[in-house]
Structure 1
Amino acid sequence: MPLARPAQKSLQHRTIASAVAEELRRRIVDGEFKSGFQLRQDALATEFSVSRIPVREALMQLEAEGLVKILPHRGAIVSELSMEEVQELFELRALLEPRLLKASARHLTEVDYDRLSQILQEYSSELRAKHVRRWGELNTEFHKVLYQHARQPRAQAIVGGLLQECDRHTRLQLSLTGGMERAEVEHAELVRLCRSGKVSAACALLKTHIEDVGKSLRNYFEEHNKTT
């Protein structure tokens, strides 16, 4: 029995840390906290009415996701979105995701297609309503459902991390580069090709889809840098 209290306390800290991380992630992705913004542990602990321990754990989690950098003598700051980072992330996705789709597509069931259809319907609704927060979440779920039968757990874990890291980039791409309608059309076409057994065509479209998102973001950064 004496061991239960430390374990319970540890679990409580992890739960609080997850809630803090989720809220900070939302603010970063939604642009409330800009690149370079300093995240002060004391101020955050006061705001969330928690100790510094779960705040520190939350910041470490966000650092692992690439949203935050923890620097000596400066503490935690919101990471910058760089062209180099965008290029690396989307090049890795373009390499791995078509491979996963090829392995998974023929094993997708009617239940899977029903879920994909539901995601597309909600995606369309959220785009029309401009609910930015849900775009990245639905995009990530859509891709994960497509790849879930690949039976390549390491590659799937890597891609899961890449999709999470790309969440902020995806929202930026959709909202700032006019990619909403194109994403909607291409996602629907991916499902149609997989359902009709045209897996090679689906993989080719997926690769182009990912590469084009990366290109549009890099183009946006280049144009933005010219005007700043």
Structure 2
Amino acid sequence: MTRKFDFEMPKSLTEIVASRLRQAIIDGEFALGEMISEDTLAALFGVSRTPVRDALTLLQNTGLVEIRPKRGSFVFQPTEADMRAICDFRVMLEVQAARCAYRHDRAGVVAGLQAGLDEMEAAIAADDDVRYGHADSAFHLALFLHSGNSYLLDAYDLVAGKIGALRTAMSRQFADAREVSLAEHRAVQAFVDAGDFAGLESLLTIHIDRTVDAYRLALDSGRIAVATKPRVQRIHTTPST
């Protein structure tokens, strides 16, 4: 009898670099619009430029990186129209994910949302904007993880990296708004628990649209600016072989 064994293939250098760089962008180690130096990344990871270049191409496919011919690679920087499109997409997806999660695993999704709330509270107490961004992402991701629909999760993955980076940037620029954000997340959990999807859609529209307003304010005030010069990054890496 022929036997088949499932096992996980080791990640390639390209995948390792892409994964770490993706997280660095989400965590705000690279600013929106900032130029990414291939030489600097290669030195930090202790690899040649080839896996770095391939990693940047992978991230370009997810929209996190923009490669400009003869100019270099840059972290994405959305226009206001891009922000509006992302936010509209999020509202549609998250409401549908909440409906599915309520039917498929109501107790699980409510517990997952509560875990996100607990972590958000801990992040506020620690005044840790990156931790708060991670907790915020985990909160919204819970809707998809408990939806029982892999296609919804795949659709969310298309913009999850961008959303995470924008969350960190907005949380860092407007730390005084975290209490308002936390209160709205509590209300999201309550609407999901009650199965009130009309109320949830109204709240999510307000909650998510606030990102557009915050982004516009950050641009107008100069808190977020287009960066064109590369800077040395302190990306924590593991030695390569």
TM-score (norm 1): 0.79
Distance 1:194 1:36 in 2: 36
Shift of 1:121: 0.7
Distance 2:202 2:32 in 1: 34
Q: What is the aligned partner in structure 2 of residue 197 from structure 1?
A: 195
Which structure 2 residues correspond to residues 79-228 of structure 1 after superposition, within 5 A? 79-177=76-174, 178-224=176-222
Q: Does 170-179 or 105-114 show the bigger shift?
A: 105-114
Q: Does 109-118 or 138-147 show the bigger shift?
A: 109-118
- CA distance 1:103–1:113, change in 2 (3 Å): closer
Q: What is the aligned partner in structure 2 of residue 78 from structure 1?
A: 75
Unaligned runs of 5+ in 2: 1-8, 227-241
Shift of 1:149: 4.4
CA contact (8 A) 2:97 2:147 kept: yes
Distance 2:100 2:107 in 1: 17
Give identity over the alignment, percent: 25
Q: What is the aligned partner in structure 2 of residue 17 from structure 1?
A: 14
Q: Residue type matched to 1:203 in 2?
A: E
CA contact (8 A) 1:18 1:58 kept: yes
Q: Which structure exhibits the higher relative contact order, with contacts defined as CA atoms closer than 8 Å and separated by 6 or more residues?
A: 2
Unaligned runs of 5+ in 1: 1-10
Say if 2:64 is the partner of 1:64: no
- CA distance 1:202–1:108, change in 2 (3 Å): farther
Count the aligned residue pairs.
216
CA contact (8 A) 1:28 1:78 kept: yes
Q: What is the aligned partner in structure 2 of residue 4 from structure 1?
A: none
CA deviation string 1:51-89 (max 9, x = no partner): 223212221222123222112122322233432322221
What secondary structure does 2:222 align onto? helix
Higher helix share: 1
Aligned Cα root-mean-square deviation (Å): 2.7
- CA distance 1:171–1:43, change in 2 (3 Å): closer
